[in-house]
Structures are given as C-alpha cells and as structure tokens.
Chain A
Amino acid sequence: MGALTLRGKLDRLWPYATLAGLFIALSIASPHFLTVQNLSSVTRQTAVINIIALGMTLVIISGGIDLSVGALVGFCSILGATVLAKGAGIPLSLGAAAGCGLLWGALSGTLIVVLRISPFIVTLGMMGMVRGLALVVSRGLPVVGIPQGFERVGEGNLGPLPVPLVMLAILSVAMHFLLERTKLGRYAYAMASNPEAARYAGVPLNLCTVSIYAILGMLTGLASMIETSRLMTGQPTAGDGYELRAIAAVVIGGGSLNGGEGTVAGTLVGAFIMGLLANGANLLGVSSFWQQVLIGAVIIAAVGLDGWRKRRA
C-alpha cells in the first residue's frame, strides 16, 4: 500500500463515518436504541452474518466467492443439533459443526482447483447440493431435543458481554492476524492481483485456494451453532440468503469482488451497518419490506461510491 495520501485516508474513513452517523441518528430518533438491552440484541442478531462475513472477506480478497455458505448454515445446524440431542455436549457439537463446515469448504476449494471451474459456478452447485442434502437427511423436519443450557451460546453473557460478541471478537482478531501476519494472508492478496506472477513467485495456489474455502466453511459451521442456539432447534432451512448478506457486508466495508481488497474492520462495519439499519427500522416501526429496499440501496451506494473514488484516484 505504501504511504497513504490524505485523500486516500479520507476515502477509507467513509464506511466508519456512515456507521457512526447511523448510530447517532438512531440514538436521536429512538429512545430505545441506546440501551444495553437493545445493543446486546443487535450484536446477537448480527453475529451469525458477521462471523460468516469474516471468512467471506478472505475468500473475496483472494478473488473468489462462495454462494454455498447459507445452505451450509442449514446443514451444519442439523448436524450440530443432532450431536447435541444425542447428549454429546456443547464442545463436541461445536467441533462437529465447525469440522463439517471445514470439510464442505475444502471440497468446494478442491473442486475449483481440480475442475478449473469458476468459484461462482462451483459454489452455486454446492449451494443446491448442501441445501438439498440438509433437507434429505432431516426429511425436511427440524431437529428437536436440544438440552437446556445450549441457549447460552446465543443468548448468554460472559461477564457483561454477550457470548456471540466475544466469539466474534476472538475470531476477528484471528482473521486480522491471518490476513496481515501470515503467508496465507499475503498470498491471498497476491493471488487476486496476478495469479501467474504469484505462481512464479512460488505461491502454492492450489493449497491456498483449498485452505481459504475450508476456513470460510469452518467459520460458517461455528456461526450455524449460534443460529441453532437462538432457534433451539436444528432447522434445515436455516441460513437462507445469508451468503448474499455476508457478501454485501464485505462489499459495503470496502472489499472488491475483483479481489485484492478488503479488511476485517471494514467487513465488521459493513455487517453492523446492515444490522443497525434492520434494528433501527424495527424500532421505528418501518416494515420489513422497506428494510430490504433500504439495505439494497445502501449496497449500491457503497459500491458506487467506491468505484467513483477509484476513477478519481
């Protein structure tokens, strides 16, 4: 990146400014917004998308995309709920869901590498297969019998902080470290900008691709257990459309679908902008129809502004 000009710095600030502005605007517009209870609700409501979006950031930086994560939430939710219902305990169920997500992600990555098909197509196919299999193994029925106590994963507190927020914080720091301080992170940026050069420079492209999709899958598996905890059932239809919300979070936060751009902080801001819009609209009595219109407009505005900034640069 080198030294940033003042203009470059300003450009990078606008998602944060929008989030701050939204926060202030909602504090003024609704007396119920700035309460501990409501803010803790917002973090619980956005944690699932946020955690998936962390992995999506890595995938998008590498120039890829993954459309199967929404379906994966449903599949991992079924598996994790079944493990819980069999009495295997919370750690094992989290491990099972994360491991299952990791395997599906690795399979997507492997197919992309071996068949040399674009990630969009591979993961589009995986989306159908994973959702279909979730419905097949569950016969379309929710998995019930989750023992009491599991609701703490989504609804509980660690000290004063909601458990999902603590999970998100740890995973965000880990993803930031991965992107900034590890070979895989630097390779991810390099892969998108010039894959041939990266290959000649000795980047193991295939291994990197498989790892990147596996990491996203693992994070999606973990996120699915927060969803499961909030529903207290395993739902084969859970997570419908989450892939698009995760991609939107990355893009609003400054990620580029051409790869090479994106940060953890930006993605978190993007996800919280969408979360606050939904929360604020609910608090102010705006219907869920208008929420969709608003969020759609924000996505276009964010990307439009980004393109305009690049053309001027």
Chain B
Amino acid sequence: MVSTRLTLTKRLTGLFALTVTAAIAILAGCSKQQGRVVAVVPKGQAHVFWQAVHSGAVKAGKEFNITIEWNGPANEVEYSQQIEIVENFINRHVDGIMLAPSERKAMVGVIDKASKAGIPVVIFDSGADTENYASFVATDNYAGGVLAAKRMGELLHGKGQVAVIATIPGGASTLAREAGFEETLAKEFPEIKVVAKQFGMADYARSLQVTEDILTANPGLNGLFASNESSSVGAAQALKARSLVGKLPLVGFDASPALQEDLKNGVFDSLVVQNPYKMGYEGVKAMSEIFAGRKPARHIDSGVALVKKDDLSKPDVQALLNPPLVF
C-alpha cells in the first residue's frame, strides 16, 4: 500500500513538474523584448489580408527599431477575445497599441482604457466610436465602393440589375464600401438597380451559400459586387459552380493569391484592392513619430485601386498585390 502510494505521488509530481516546465519553456521561448514594443492586434487571422498588414508592420518595425508583437483572435467576430488580447497588452505596458477594431462600439472601452494608461493607440482598417486615438490608418473604403460602381456602370452600359454580396452588419469598413457602391450607382447610373443584398458574415461557406441563393432567386441578374475577401471568394465559387464564369460580370474586393488566380482566369472582371502592407507600415511609422515626440496625421489614407486582368503583369501592381510575407 505504502509503495503504491509513493509511486503514484511520484508520478503525479513528475507529470505535473513536466507540464509546468514545458509550459514555461514554450511560453518563455516566445517572449523576447528589445527597444520599443508595439502590439499589433488585427480583427482576425484567417485572411491573407491581415498577414500583409503584419508584413508591413514588421518592415517598418525593422526600419524604426520597434519590436512588433502580433496577436489577434482567429475569427473576426470574436469580439470579447479581441478585448481580452488588448487588455492583456495594456497590463503588459507595451509602448504602443495598433488595433483594427472588430466592432465600432464594443472596442471603445479598451481603447479608452489604453489611452488612460498612457499607451498611444493607432487604429487601422476600421473606425471606432471614440476620439482617444493618435491616428487612424485606413483604406478610403467609400472611394473603393465608388470605383467598383463606376466599373459596373461601364460594364453594363448604365443599365441592368445587380446584386451585392455584403460582408457583415456593423463592420464599419465594409459598410462604407457597400454604401459607396450603392450610392454611386443611384447617383450616376440610375437605371442600374440593386435587386438583392445579403451578408456573407465574413465566412467563405456562408458567402458561397448566399450568392447561390441570390443567383437562384434572380435569374435576370446582370452583375455582382462582393465587398471583401471572403464574400469575393464565395461569389467566385458560386459562379464557377453554376458555369456562369464570363457570363455574369463580378467585381470583387481585396486580392488574396486565390482571388488573383480567379482574376487571371476571368472569374472576376476586376478587383478593388487595398494596400494592407502599406496599412501596417504606415501604422508603425505613425507610432515611431509619437515615440519621437511628434504628432502624426490624424487620418492616414493607405490607398485603393481597381485592378483588371491586363494590369496583373505590371510590376507596380505585382508589388501591391504580392508583398513579401513574414510569419
């Protein structure tokens, strides 16, 4: 009896010690700090878009001697996890926080908390309903929607029925794109009607499903606009599945490698592209100005462009679409 007890105690202790040691080794191996530390918190990590932001941030970090700490929730709708991540960065007293708010009201609390703790905040990609930030780096999303609407007007010769594969209710940046698209059509091409609009909820499978349902319900459709990477992927898949490639013009938004491939193959007429690499770069650059005691611009535009199939071979477009990624 005594011996069994001893073995068990020993084993338990051994197992426990092993677990803790392993945990420390894993965890501590990842924490290295030098110079200023800026936390960069994306909305999610599932899209190539965020990886390009990361690359831009790391590039600027090397240039301005800033260590980039990258962490965000896996999915873009995990609001409370994003709050947790920012809170923990505040508790660590990092030197600056760059945040892409996943919800414009829900993130107000942590942004205010950071600025109260004396940590400068640079917001990127999407806005938030607070004034407690040093700079806001973003695509002029409304202008992106306008570009897409003008291209659609040109393609349809100012007449027809279109549908919008929207992204997510409450997402400030994609709502602006959808508004830019719909308002420009109403103003400049009054004979083009938006007959259907559904949210793909930033999810590939869901975007595919809503596009299929829109195609079923509207056989007379003349064009499609998708307002982010996941809705563009879903719309493209639906066109391929229904053999509508080349028959129904699709204008997408964002440019992952898969979307570029589809543009090359004619699934998309064109893609409106942002510059996430520049977004990450400009955000960290704004931070470096704050550290140097200067005041960065309150609003920094990271640019937007319409890319057609023929543009793909141009070197400047290639640099925009395929920045070197870091992991």
Contact = CB atoms under 8 A, between A and B. Distances in A.
Interface of A: 6-7, 10, 14, 17-18, 21-22, 25, 28-30, 32, 35, 37-38, 41, 45, 48, 139-142, 144, 151, 155, 227, 230-233, 235, 237-238, 240, 277-290, 292, 294, 301, 305, 312
Contacts of A237: 77
B84 interface: yes
A32 B93 CA distance: 8
B80 interface: yes
B19 A18 contact: yes
Contact of A32 (B23, B30, B81, B91): B91
B27 A29 contact: yes
Given A284-B31, A305-B15, A35 B84 contact: no
18 contacts: A7-B5, A14-B12, A21-B16, A29-B27, A29-B31, A41-B84, A140-B201, A144-B105, A230-B83, A233-B103, A238-B79, A278-B84, A284-B30, A286-B26, A286-B27, A288-B71, A288-B72, A312-B8
B89 interface: yes
B45 to A, nearest CB: 7
B4 interface: yes
Given A282-B85, A290-B26, A301-B19, 9 more contacts: A10-B5, A32-B93, A41-B88, A142-B103, A233-B103, A282-B89, A284-B27, A289-B45, A312-B8
Contact of A29 (B24, B78, B84, B201): B24
B81 A288 contact: yes
Nearest to B110: A230
A22 B21 CA distance: 10
A288 B75 CA distance: 10
Nearest to A48: B80
Contacts of B20: 21-22, 25
A285 B19 contact: no
Contacts of A25: 20, 23-24
Contacts of B88: 38, 41, 279, 282-283
B301 to A, nearest CB: 27
Given A28-B24, A280-B27, A284-B28, A141 B83 contact: no
A277 B248 CA distance: 50
B87 interface: yes
